[in-house]
Copies of this chain bind each other. A is one copy, B any other.
Amino acid sequence: MIDARHKAALGEILGDSGIVANAADMAVYENGARYDQGRAAFVLRPRDTVQASACVAYCVREGIALVPQSGNTGLVSGSTPDGDGSQAVLSLDRMTQGFELDIDNRSLRLDAGFRLSDVNARLEQEGLFFPIDLGADPRVGGMLATNTGGSRFLRYGDVRRNVLGVKVVLADEQGTVLDLMSGLRKNNTGVDWKQLFIGTSGAFGIVTECVLNLEPLPRQVSTAYLVPRNGSDVMPLLRAMEERLGAYLSAFEGMSKNAVSAALSHVPSLKNPFQGGNIPHYVILAEISRSWTPRDGEQPLDAVLETVLADLWQDGALADAFVGPAHEMWALRHALSEGVKHLGRLIAFDLSFRRGDIMAFCDHMKAEMPARFPGVTICDFGHIGDGGVHFNLVVDKSASLDKDFEYRLRDWVFAVAVEKFHGSFSAEHGIGRKNQSYYDRYTQQKNKDLAVGLKRLTSPGRLGAVRFG
C-alpha cells in the first residue's frame, strides 16, 4: 500500500504510469523467475537515469528500502522484495531508449533496460553480438549486477570482461550519478570503479546505462560429443583442445549420464545420439566457431574438428567422439535442466572450482551421498572449461524428508565445495537472499568489514536484496 504522500512525490518524478501500486500489476515484479515470492510496497519504473536518480534520492531521504530489478530472471532471489511488504522495487523495464552503436570501437552504449535477446537481434545485421550466452533472457542491468557467465565463458569471458563503462545511481540523499561511461579499452588513471558494481547485486549502486564490448558474430560453428575413457581424462582432453584449437574453442560443456538420461527420457523432441542408445558415463559437448564465412583453400570447420579429434584419439583418452549438427548437440545440452526437473524434487547448486578439482569433487560426492543422503541422485552438468558446475540433486520420493532436510543437504554440499575443495558457493548466479547465509558463513571477516565500509562509502541508503552490512 503506497502512502499518498510518497505517491504524490514520486508521481511528480515519474508520472502516473511510472508507479505501480495495485496488487494485480505488482505480481510480476514480486515473484522471481523460478523460486521466490515477495511483496512490494510499490514499484517504480523510471525512464532514464535522471528519473532513477530522483527516485533513489527521495527513497533514501524517506528511509524507503529499494530493490533494483532488471529482467527478474535470476535464480537467487536477488531482484525481488522480501515478504514483509515494505520494500519498493525499482524496475529498469522502461529504460530502453538509448542505444548507440560505435562500430569502430566495437562497442555499444545503451540503457540498462534492454533485454539480451533484443540487443543481439539489433546487432545481428552489423555482424556483431554481446557474447554472453545464457539460458535466460535477462535485461542488461541485471547481467551486470550478477556478472553472468554462461556457456561461452571459455571463449569470451564473463560480463566483467565485456563491460567498458557504466553509469550508476548511488543510494545517497542526492541520488548521486557516477558517470564511468568512457568506453575506453585501456585506461589506468585510478581505481576502476565500475568493477564494484559488477556482480554485487545492485547493493552499491544501480547501473542504469553501460558501454558493452561487442564481438564479431560467429559465422561457422562445429560441434562434437567427446566421451572420455575416465573422469581423469576430462582435463587432459580440455588442455589438448585448448592447445590445438586456441580461441576457436568456444564451449566445453560436461554432461553426466544421469543428466543426459533424464533429458532423453523427458524431452520427447530429442533423439539419443549414442551408439546403441547407450548413454556414456560422461559426455563433453565441445564447440568450435569462427567469425568468417568459408574461404577458398580453407579447411572446413568440421574437418578441423575431426582432425583434432583423431589426434586426441591417438592419445588414448577417448572412448568415443563424433562431430554432429550443432543445433542437435546443443538441444540436448539445453534440455538437461528441464529433464532433471522431471525426476523429482530438484535442489540446485551453482558451484565452481579450479578446473582440476571438478571431477574430484563430483567423485567425492558420488561416493559419500548414498550413506549421508539416501534417495538423492546427482545429475551434474556444467561449464567445465571455466570450472563451473551446475550440481543438481534430485530427491527421490522415497527419501525421508524431515523439515531440515534441504538445509542439511545444502550445508553439507557447500561445506565440501568451499571448505574441502576451495570452490565457490555461487559461480555465476550471485548472492541474493537465497545465498545470504552462505555469504555470511564463508566470507572472511576482513572482507565483510571492507564490504560494510564500501557500502557506507557508496550507497549508505537501503538498497538491494543482499545485505553486505
Residues of A within 8 A of B (CB): 102-107, 127, 146-147, 149, 153, 155, 157-158, 160-161, 176, 178-179, 182-193, 195-196, 198-200, 204, 216, 235, 238-239, 242-248, 290-292, 295-299, 303-304, 307, 352-356, 383, 386-388, 422-431, 435, 438-439, 442-444, 446-447, 450-451, 453-454, 457-458, 468
Contacts of A239 in B (CB 8 A): 103-104, 106
Task: Say yes or no: B304 contacts A298, CB within 8 Å.
Answer: yes
Task: Say yes or no: B105 contacts A355, CB within 8 Å.
Answer: yes
Contacts of A296 in B (CB 8 A): 307
- CB-CB under 8 A for A153 and B354, given A239-B104, A244-B292: no
Q: What are 13 A-B contacts defined by CB distance under 8 Å?
A: A105-B387, A106-B242, A185-B352, A189-B425, A189-B438, A190-B468, A191-B200, A191-B204, A191-B451, A191-B454, A193-B447, A298-B299, A299-B299
Q: Give the complex CA separation of A158 and B186 in angstroms.
A: 8
Contacts of A245 in B (CB 8 A): 292
Task: Say yes or no: A443 contacts B243, CB within 8 Å.
Answer: no
Contacts of A451 in B (CB 8 A): 190-191
Question: Closest 7 CB pairs between A and B?
Answer: A104-B356, A247-B247, A195-B195, A187-B424, A453-B457, A105-B354, A104-B235
Task: Say yes or no: A216 contacts B447, CB within 8 Å.
Answer: no
Q: Give the complex CA separation of A204 and B195 in angstroms.
A: 15
Contacts of A189 in B (CB 8 A): 424-426, 431, 435, 438-439, 442-443
Q: A189-B424, A189-B438 given. 8 additional CB < 8 A pairs?
A: A104-B354, A160-B192, A184-B427, A185-B355, A186-B387, A191-B447, A193-B450, A246-B291
Task: Say yes or no: A176 contacts B299, CB within 8 Å.
Answer: no
What is the CB-to-nearest-CB distance from A108 to chain B, in angstroms, rounded to a whole number? 12
Contacts of A183 in B (CB 8 A): 354
- CB-CB under 8 A for A200 and B196, given A185-B153, A355-B104, A453-B457: no
Contacts of A158 in B (CB 8 A): 186
Across the two chains, which residue of chain B brings its CB closest to A109? B354
Contacts of A187 in B (CB 8 A): 352, 424, 426-427
Task: Say yes or no: A184 contacts B423, CB within 8 Å.
Answer: yes
Q: Give the complex CA separation of A296 and B299 in angstroms.
A: 10
- CB-CB under 8 A for A353 and B243, given A447-B191, A450-B458, A468-B190: no
In the complex, which of the residues B155, B191, B428, B443 contacts A190, with contact meaning CB atoms closer than 8 Å? B443
- CB-CB under 8 A for A422 and B383, given A104-B354, A190-B447, A427-B187: no
Q: Give the complex CA separation of A388 and B105 in angstroms.
A: 12
Q: Give the complex CA separation of A178 and B186 in angstroms.
A: 27
Q: Give the complex CA separation of A18 and B243 in angstroms.
A: 42
Q: Give the complex CA separation of A438 and B297 in angstroms.
A: 53
Contacts of A244 in B (CB 8 A): 291-292
Task: Say yes or no: A188 contacts B426, CB within 8 Å.
Answer: yes
Q: Give the complex CA separation of A255 and B296 in angstroms.
A: 31
Task: Say yes or no: B428 contacts A186, CB within 8 Å.
Answer: yes
Contacts of A353 in B (CB 8 A): 184
What is the CB-to-nearest-CB distance from A136 to chain B, in angstroms, rounded to a whole number? 15
Task: Say yes or no: B195 contacts A216, CB within 8 Å.
Answer: no
Contacts of A307 in B (CB 8 A): 295-298
What is the CB-to-nearest-CB distance from A200 to chain B, in angstroms, rounded to a whole number? 6
- CB-CB under 8 A for A297 and B299, given A183-B354, A184-B352, A184-B354: yes
Task: Say yes or no: B191 contacts A192, CB within 8 Å.
Answer: no
Q: Give the complex CA separation of A46 and B83 in angstroms.
A: 53
In the complex, which of the residues B157, B246, B446 contacts A161, with contact meaning CB atoms closer than 8 Å? B157
